[in-house]
Amino acid sequence: MGFDPVQYKTTTRQQWEDAAEAWHRWGPTLEAWLGEATERMLDAADVTTGSRVLDVAAGAGGQSLAAARRTGPRGSVVATDVSPTILTYAAKSAAEAGLTNIETVEADGEALDALPAASFDAVICRVGLIYFPDQQRALAGMHRALRDGGRIAAIVYSTPDRNEFFSIPVSIIRDRAQLPPPQPGQPGPFSLGGPGVLHAALTQAGFSDVRVDAVPSPLRLSSAAECVQFERDSFGALHQMLAGVAPPERQAVWDQIEAALARFEAPDGFVGPCELLVGSGTK
């Protein structure tokens, strides 16, 4: 059976609804892990005092809050996501942080036409673009939302060999579920990570001054077991793949993943290899 983008999006929305609480709960881990790349993304998007920022696929909003702190009360952040539940956590975190310049909007990242055109100075997307079935459609919507001269910046994973904390579980589950390799253009964690792929995608969408920078971003946790728990709680892509494994066998798959990830344990804890790319451009 071929890839069905409609079914995929329906499933993805439900999985983010289900994982919303966990994504929020693991927030400190996410920010420690993604923090440097997030700052690089905000720099690349030229988010500064007074900026009007659109955050696409905002999730629980860690990067939304970081952007809102930069813009200050003169600026604003519109955080969009396909999951209304996860946006409630983003709004809650903003309120707890005393940030009044964040608005949350339920929106499909491939259907941003409801937002006013040319109304944002910056668009950001943290580890979200990779999961859109039609990445060009998503980028076209982001391009439309930006004013002339506005900036886009997005974070994606690079290649599987540089992200073994994630690619090892993906490989094991793919094998156990007897899944075929992803089709060209199919969404997934490494869909924009190959040499030149993100650069080409941004250029095709009409952005200029495109550049892509690699950011080493090791995932530091107490143990391989904690990494498995983190991914089990929070990584919807793995659960989509696991649907092809009989429920009684799934624990054995997670056990196999933990054993494979144990190679990244050291006396001072677990260090999972991860490399992120920050791609940026100008409208």
The yes-or-no verdict on residue 126 having pLDDT over 60 is yes
The yes-or-no verdict on residue 49 having pLDDT over 60 is yes
The yes-or-no verdict on residue 118 having pLDDT over 60 is yes
Residue 2: predicted pLDDT? 75
Give this prediction's pTM.
0.97
The yes-or-no verdict on residue 200 having pLDDT over 80 is yes
CATH class of the domain defined by 5-160+184-220+271-282 = alpha beta
Q: What is the DSSP string of 3-17?
A: --HHHHHHHHHHHHH
Query: Quick one: tokens of 193?
Result: 């990570």
Residue 160: which residues within 8 A CB-CB, separation 6 or more?
A: 166, 167, 170, 171, 190, 193
Mean predicted lDDT score pLDDT of the chain? 96
The predicted model gives 250-275 an average pLDDT of: 98
Q: Where are the domains of the chain?
A: 5-160+184-220+271-282
The yes-or-no verdict on residue 24 having pLDDT over 70 is yes
The predicted model gives 200-204 an average pLDDT of: 99
The predicted model gives 207-228 an average pLDDT of: 99
Per residue in 228-248, pLDDT tens? Answer: 999 999 998 898 899 989 999
Residue 44: predicted pLDDT? 99
Lowest mean pLDDT among 106-110, 177-181, 249-253: 177-181
The predicted model gives 264-274 an average pLDDT of: 97
Residue 192: predicted pLDDT? 98
Residue 1: predicted pLDDT? 56
Helix/strand/coil (H, E, C) string of 190-217?
CCCCCCCHHHHHHHHCCCEEEEEEEEEC
Give the confidence band of 72 by pLDDT, cuts at 50, 70, 90.
very high
Residue 184: predicted pLDDT? 82
